[in-house]
Structures are given as C-alpha cells and as structure tokens.
Amino acid sequence: MNTPGSGTMALRGIAAAILAALTVSMGGLAFADGRDVYSLKQGWDFFRPASDMREAAVPPDGDRAWQQVSLPHSVRLEPLNASGGRNYQGPCWYQKRFTADDGWKNRNVYLHFEGAMQVAEVSLNGKKLTTHFGGYQPFTVDLTGQMDLGKANTLLVKLDNSDNAEVPPGKPQAQLDFTYFGGLYREVWVEVLDRLHITDEILADKAAGGGVFVRTPEVAASQAVVEVQTDLANERDSAVQCRVKQELVDDAGRVIAAAVEDAELDKAACRTCRQTMVVENPKLWHPCHPDLYTLRTTILEGEKIVDNRTTRMGIRRIEFKPEGLFINGEKFFASGFNRHQDHPYVGYALPKSQQYRDAKKMRDAGMTSFRSHYPQDPAFMDACDELGILCIVSNPGWQFFGNHTWVDRLNRNAREMVRRDRNHPCAVLWEPFPNETNYSEKCARSLNDIVHEEYPGDQCFTAGSGETGKGQKYVDVVWERDEANKYQDKPVWAREWGDSVDNWDDQQGRVRVARGWGEIPLITQAVNHAMKLDAMLKNAGGGPESTRFSGVCVWAGIDCYRGYHHQPFYGGALDLFRLPKFDYYFFQSQRDPTLKVKNVDSGPMVFIANCATAYSPSAVTVFSNCEAIRFSENGKVLATQQPDAGYVLAHPPFTFQTKTGKVEQSTLNMTRDLAANSESGYIYETSEYKAEGLIGGRVAATHTVKAPGVMSRIDLEADGAGREFTADGNDWMRVYAKVCDKRGTVHPFADDLVAFSVEGEGAIVGNAAIGANPVRAEAGIATVLIRSTATPGRIKVRATAFGLKPAEIEIESKPPVATELK
C-alpha cells in the first residue's frame, strides 16, 4: 500500500457536520458557496417552422409565432407510434431572455448544455458564439465578456436534427435502427465562477485533464487509496496563492479522509494538483452494495472559499481477465440490458426523474449492467451509480462510417464521453467504436488509444467490434463468443443477445412481442429468452459461475422506436410505457434470492406467467428464484416440484399442468364469485392459481392469479418508482388506468377507450390528435403522462370509460431544488 505524499493528511474517524447545503445537483456534480449555479429549465420561447427553413439564421419576422416551453423539451409531441420516420426532422429555434447581474463583472460565466439534438448554433444578443455538432454529448459555451451586464440578454439556440452524414451517428434516419428525436431534450444551466476556479472538463479540452478526476488505484477491504486530480485556472491579472482542499464524506455526513495542498498560479496560468487520501475500512462500491461517497473539492484564499465542486464517487477496483470480470477481487457475472432513451409522445425529452425510473425498473428485474449506442443522460448514469448497474459507455454510431470530418468528430466524441463519465463508479467499459460498423484498422487503433490516453492507468478497459472485426486486436474486452474463440487471452462480453428475426426485411420474430398480443406470444418471448440465455451459457462452458463471459446484455430492455421500420421494436422486457411483460419476470427470477440490495426490489420472487382465463394454456409457466414451487389451483395443491430439468441457468422456469379450461369454469361473462347455478346445475368457479416459492422448505415468496371477471371499474396507479414529482414546469409522471373486474383483477383482454382529465397544478401531455388522450387500453391498462406546472401543489387525475366506474387519484408536486435564472 502506498503512503500518501507530502502535503497530504488523512483524517480517520473524525465526525464532522454535514457539508453546507448544496445549491443544485446536476449530472453527478453539486455546486455551492464559491460558484453560483442557475437552472435554465423554464421560460424558453420555442419556434418550429411549418415548412423547411434550414438555412435561416433566425425565423423570419412574420413567422415568429413563439411558444413558451420548459426543458427538457421535444421539438414536437409525436404520435404513439413514432417509428418509420414519423418524427419531426428539421430546424427549430429556442430563445431565452435573462438578466446578467452586475456582480458578474469580474467573474467567469459558463453556459452548459447536457445535450441538444443535433447541430446546435448558439448566439447571444445577435452574435454567434459557437456551433456544436452532435446530439448526445455535452458542450460548454464561455459567456464571459459577451453579456450586457445589468441588462436583459437574449440567448438564441438553433437546432437541426436532420440527416447529416458528417455528424455521428451519420446514417440516414430512414435506415437507422433507432430514432434521434429533436429538441433541447436535456438540461441547460449557467455557472458563475471566480476568475480563480476549477476548470470545466469539456471546455478545458485536456487529455486526461480538466475539472476533477478521481481514481482509486489501490482497493482492499481494510484500506483504499483515493487519488484526486484537480485542474485549476487563474484568469486574474495577477498571480495567486491558494489552497486545494479535498474532503471525502460518507453517507452519514462524516469526513473520513482529507488532503490539503498549497498552490501558486501565475496570472493567466493553469495548474494541475494531485492529492492522495487513505481510507481505512472503506465501504466498497459493488452492484450488490453500491455504496457511494461524496468528494468535496474546495479552493481557498486564506479562509475564503473562491470555488468548490462536489463529486459523487465509489471506491472500487475493476479487473477484466480471460476468465471473466472481477470487482474488488471477486468474480462477478453481469446480466444486463440495452436501452434507447425515447418515450411515447415526448421523444428524447425525459426529465431526470424518468431517467432514474428507467434504471430502477431494470435493476428491480435483477439486471446489473447496461449498454446503448450513445452516451445516456447524466441522470441515468447517476442512477446506475446509486442502484449498482455496471455501464458500458458507447460512442454514438450504428453501421455507418463517414468522411474525414465525421471521423474527427467521432474521435472528439470518444474523448468527451470519457471526460464526462470518468468519475462514475458504474462506468467499467468504454466502447469507442461505432456499433456494427465496417471501420478502418487505423480508426480502430486511434479510438482505442484515445480512450486509454483520456483514462491512463490500469482501470481503463475498452470493448467493441465491427463488421470486419478489425478492432478486436486493440480492445481489452471482446464481444460475442466467436470473437472470443479467436482471442483466447481476452475476456468476453455479449453486448447484444436474445433478439432474433425471421428475416431482416420483415423484422418479425418470436421474441418481438407487444404486451397486448396476449399470453401465448408473451410466454413465447420469455421462454425463448430463457432458452437463448441457457444455450449461450452452455456454449461458454457452463452456468454463470464457470462461463468466460464477463457479462451479457439483452437486446433490449425496453421497447423503442426505429427509423427504418414502421413498427416499434417490441423485444423489450418492458413496453414503451415501462409496463412489464412476462419476460420481465424471467429476468427477475435470475437474481440471487439471498441478496438484499438497498433501494432495489431484491430477494426471493415468484411469478405465474398465466392469466387463468378460459383461453389460457393449461400448462402454466412459473418464474422463480426459489428452490421449489408449491402450486395450487382453486385452493387445492396440484404439485410441489423443482425447476424444469436440462438448464444451466441459475434459476430455470417451472412448468405445471392444470385442469383449468372448462367452459363452466369461465368467469369471462360472470359478475359473481363462487356460486351455484340451480337452473344449469353447473358450478361457476373463479379460477385461481397460487404459487408459493419454497426455500429450505419454507414459503419465501407468493404470487396469486385470479381469473378476470366482467370489466366493471377503473383503478388508477401513479408510477412514482422512487422519485418525487417536481414542480419545475416539465417533470412528468405516468399514471396507469387499469380496467378491472369488481375484485380488482386487471382484465387482460380489455381495450376500452379511457379519457383522462386533470385538476390542479398539472396538465396532460398530448391530446387525441396523437392518441394521447383519450387512449385505448392495451392488455387492460391505459397510460397517460401528467406534466407538472411551475407551482407546487396537488393534482387530481380522473379517468373515465363507457360502462366502467370512473376513478380518481391525487398526486402532489414538490418545489424544485434548483435556482432559476430570470
């Protein structure tokens, strides 16, 4: 174990008051004291032309029908099915007026964009400041000296998400396997800093530099070393002397380690400070126990705080070996998902609450890794840190290789994705190559070198492939089994598995199933995924414990839209509205029943993949991670049995043969419970299945399914999923209207047209023109999106449908944390 260098001190076991209240938290970084941060979520003017105005710098005077909007914002509310190029593609404008305070005169002012799709021209008071190319990466604009202080300033952002062969991904959207929706779809904010400050990672543009860079080179249960690199800039007119103070704070607010170093900077100079702290008995970050710390970096002149930043981090060590992935010295098999970031109606414009909810729903299914074709929202990465999801961070691209300009931008994207996400403990693999692309060997070597240059040391690992496999000789981890056979000295990760089609023209397949298609397709999807995962593990040498695979990511976790097909991709375990299919519970059944994870649905589970109707299969599939299942029908135990034989899965499915299916047992036309019909002599039964999961002979989990009676009422459920509803003008929440019988059983065949109305501080996203309200139930559930206003308060949601008892639910929005710039 290394000893901390000179000028460093380690504080152990010292209780400290919790750090000063943070002004705002964004993208894993929180700000307070030395820098002022203002949200730019509210009060934007928006214009989308009715005809093509691609070359216009500003909308013509006669066309300036501005609409007031909040961020994140989609260039247009899209129809429920936005696949096949239905999404808006073209230019649009956003305008924001704000007052630049006189107190900003001797300070630096930065304007931060988390993402803007996809070519962004930024102007201030009629002067063009920059053009940014690429919709998935952040960028920062230096406004210092550009503003009229004490006066109103006008910020204008022109966006264009049209096809552009010089901007990754580059491939025309009509040929693309996903859709890039337009708009200022991620957040924007302003930072006001002292002229002596911690630099911005993107604006500094330094390899392996800029901002704060945290690494944990030595990690053990008894002791860990934390190295912090801080990049300082002095833009004052004279030299300065300051102190750089690092404090590592646990979740109870205690300072558990610290370091202080003196620093001197000449005028107009930069300096990088490197400090080391030793942490005794650290809580190590791991998917099974994702413990996090807060690193507070403070710049002081005397006792005055001139700048600070807080960085959330985890102490962990990653190793990829030919035999698999090791976290903190322990072998770990990661079963995960791929995800596109779109959502019905709003395209890419998901608020941070929904980024978290997507991550949580997949983690609740037992999934411990994630991948996509581009960098995700910073809030999604934060959620992966919190929930214990290993992330493969990917460079934007899909089956396309462009010209020199495109390659230059691909290289820059590779640098910036590392600079943005390098402090996330969840980020364990970097995928610099565009997905499934026939790139050159020179490009492969360059991209791999870029990532290792940006993240030096032994904790950086790359992965990727192409149509010709040119990149495999350079990366640290190879994709798929065939490539693994060629590179025996490299670990393997199955980046996409589980999807299959009859042919690539028609795009149908046994695992591509809409949730409303009924039990047989849903069971077929889930069982096929079980068999595919099992076969993959067998071919790799056995079950998860013995396989060479470091991890596997199913394609995909959530249904999504596509450019090249008029039908959405239906192969997800969750549908477009994040409602689970039977497939979801197969994945959930693969989790360890003995493991309890904080803030995650974990432990024993059991799920009956059957609706117990007169049309349901008499062979009932049950998914569970328990040792055995005791299965009952109508109160009578049919069997107690072990999982189905022949699998190497951690937890294979169970199959039970039932007696259900007689016409006289059908309750599809019934409104009563068990009752004798004296005229016919039949006994009408409400068929009921009960599965009890047994561990050590004791019941550890239970699931009951009752046959649906006649549809009679609506039940409402707000999809909070661990996040509050924020009154910031553009947070939104899903509300599910469930069409039920009088016992509360959701009817799987219900397709009623449900109308929603709202009272209070909320509004419905969309209308009948795009199928958003009223909306037809699918498999008994209709979903509406409720958007908050900028005023906190209660929101009453009401749902009605012909012939059904209506329902109401109240949700409440809370005040936002961020300070808005007016």
Please say if the pLDDT value at position 644 is more than 90. yes
**What is the DSSP pairing of strand 549-554 with strand 334-338?**
parallel
Q: Tell me the torsion sign for CA atoms 567, 571, 575, 581.
A: positive
Task: Give the least confident one: 34-38, 45-49, 362-366, 501-505.
Answer: 501-505
Tokens of 763: 């509004």
186-245 per-position pLDDT tens digit: 999 999 999 999 999 999 999 999 999 999 999 999 999 999 999 999 999 999 999 999
**Residue keyed to tokens 């920059």:** 130
| Average pLDDT over every residue of 394-401 | 92
| Average pLDDT over every residue of 659-671 | 51
Q: Residue 726's pLDDT is what?
A: 92
pLDDT-derived band at 481 (thresholds 50, 70, 90) equals low
Q: What is the rounded distance in angstroms from the CA atom of residue 272 to the CA atom of residue 261? A: 11
pLDDT-derived band at 16 (thresholds 50, 70, 90) equals very low
Output phi, psi for 660, to 5 deg.
-65, 155
| Average pLDDT over every residue of 260-276 | 96
Question: Which H helix or E strand runs over 25?
Answer: strand 24-26
Q: What is the rounded distance in angstroms from the CA atom of residue 413 to the CA atom of residue 431? A: 11
Q: What is the rounded distance in angstroms from the CA atom of residue 379 to the CA atom of residue 399? A: 27
Please say if the pLDDT value at position 768 is more than 70. yes
Please say if the pLDDT value at position 671 is more than 50. no
SS3 532: helix
pLDDT-derived band at 673 (thresholds 50, 70, 90) equals very low
58-83 per-position pLDDT tens digit: 876 766 789 999 999 999 999 999 99
Number of other residues whose CB lies within 10 A of the CB of residue 262: 10
| Average pLDDT over every residue of 586-600 | 95
| Average pLDDT over every residue of 503-515 | 86
Q: What is the rounded distance in angstroms from the CA atom of residue 653 to the CA atom of residue 177? A: 32
Task: Give the least confident one: 70-74, 88-92, 545-549.
Answer: 545-549
Please say if the pLDDT value at position 175 is more than 60. yes
Amino acid at 549: F
Please say if the pLDDT value at position 17 is more than 90. no
**Residue keyed to tokens 């429920």:** 80
Q: Residue 12's pLDDT is what?
A: 30
Number of other residues whose CB lies within 10 A of the CB of residue 333: 19
Question: Which H helix or E strand runs over 310?
Answer: strand 304-313
Q: Alpha helix locations (H) across 638-780?
A: none
Q: What is the rounded distance in angstroms from the CA atom of residue 241 to the CA atom of residue 185? A: 41
Tokens of 434: 């565009």
| Average pLDDT over every residue of 474-496 | 80
pLDDT-derived band at 376 (thresholds 50, 70, 90) equals very high
Tokens of 95: 């305008």
Tokens of 96: 């924001």
Q: Residue 548's pLDDT is what?
A: 74
Q: Residue 542's pLDDT is what?
A: 66
**Residue keyed to tokens 């039970």:** 656
Number of other residues whose CB lies within 10 A of the CB of residue 319: 17
Of 403, 552, 535, nearest to 463 (Cα)?
552
Please say if the pLDDT value at position 660 is more than 70. no
Q: Residue 165's pLDDT is what?
A: 96
Output phi, psi for 652, to 5 deg.
-65, 165
Dmax over CA atoms of the chain, in Å, equals 101
Of 736, 738, 734, nearest to 785 (Cα)?
734
Of 439, 377, 478, nearest to 168 (Cα)?
439
Q: What is the rounded distance in angstroms from the CA atom of residue 547 to the CA atom of residue 478? A: 14
Q: Residue 597's pLDDT is what?
A: 93
Q: What is the rounded distance in angstroms from the CA atom of residue 548 to the CA atom of residue 493? A: 9
**What is the DSSP pairing of strand 732-740 with strand 713-718?**
antiparallel
pLDDT-derived band at 538 (thresholds 50, 70, 90) equals confident
SS3 174: helix
Please say if the pLDDT value at position 543 is more than 70. no
Please say if the pLDDT value at position 170 is more than 80. yes
Please give the torsion angle defined by the CA atoms of residues 517, 520, 525 and 529, in that order, rounded to the nearest 10 degrees. Answer: 170
Q: Residue 714's pLDDT is what?
A: 98
pLDDT-derived band at 677 (thresholds 50, 70, 90) equals very low
Number of other residues whose CB lies within 10 A of the CB of residue 24: 17
553-583 per-position pLDDT tens digit: 999 999 999 999 999 999 999 999 999 999 9
pLDDT-derived band at 546 (thresholds 50, 70, 90) equals low
Q: Alpha helix locations (H) across 487-570?
A: 519-539
Tokens of 476: 């640290």
Query: What 3 state SS string does 348-410 have?
Result: CCCCHHHHHHHHHHHHHCCCCEEECCCCCCHHHHHHHHHHCCEEEEECCCECCCCCHHHHHHH
CB 78, CB 347: distance < 8 Å? yes
- In terms of pLDDT, which residue wins out, 323 or 780? 780
pLDDT-derived band at 30 (thresholds 50, 70, 90) equals very low
Question: Which H helix or E strand runs over 589?
Answer: helix 582-589
User: Percent of the chain, pLDDT > 90?
Assistant: 77
pLDDT-derived band at 51 (thresholds 50, 70, 90) equals confident
Q: What is the rounded distance in angstroms from the CA atom of residue 561 to the CA atom of residue 180? A: 9
User: Percent of the chain, pLDDT > 70?
Assistant: 90
- In terms of pLDDT, which residue wins out, 225 or 686? 225
Amino acid at 163: D
Residue 303 CA neighbour count, 13 Å, CB half? 0
Task: Give the least confident one: 39-53, 240-254, 327-341, 731-745.
Answer: 39-53
Instruction: Kindly list the distances between the CA atom of residue 536 and the CA atoms of 146, 255, 549, 554, in Å, as whole numbers in the listed order.
Output: 58, 46, 10, 12
CB 89, CB 75: distance < 8 Å? no
Tokens of 537: 């593990």
- Exposure string for 37-68, b = 16+ CB within 10 A, e = fewer: bbbbbbbbbbbbbeeebeeeeebeeeeeeeee
717-759 per-position pLDDT tens digit: 999 888 889 999 889 999 999 999 988 999 999 999 999 999 9
Q: Residue 709's pLDDT is what?
A: 86
Output phi, psi for 360, to 5 deg.
-65, -40
What are the DSSP E strand ranges found in 681-788?
A: 683-684, 688-695, 698-706, 713-718, 725-726, 732-740, 753-760, 762-764, 775-776, 781-788
What are the DSSP E strand ranges found in 464-618?
A: 478-479, 492-497, 549-554, 606-609
SS3 650: coil
Please give the torsion angle defined by the CA atoms of residues 176, 182, 186 and 188, in that order, rounded to the nearest 10 degrees. Answer: 140
Task: Say which DSSP state 82 is in.
Answer: -
**Residue keyed to tokens 């704000």:** 98
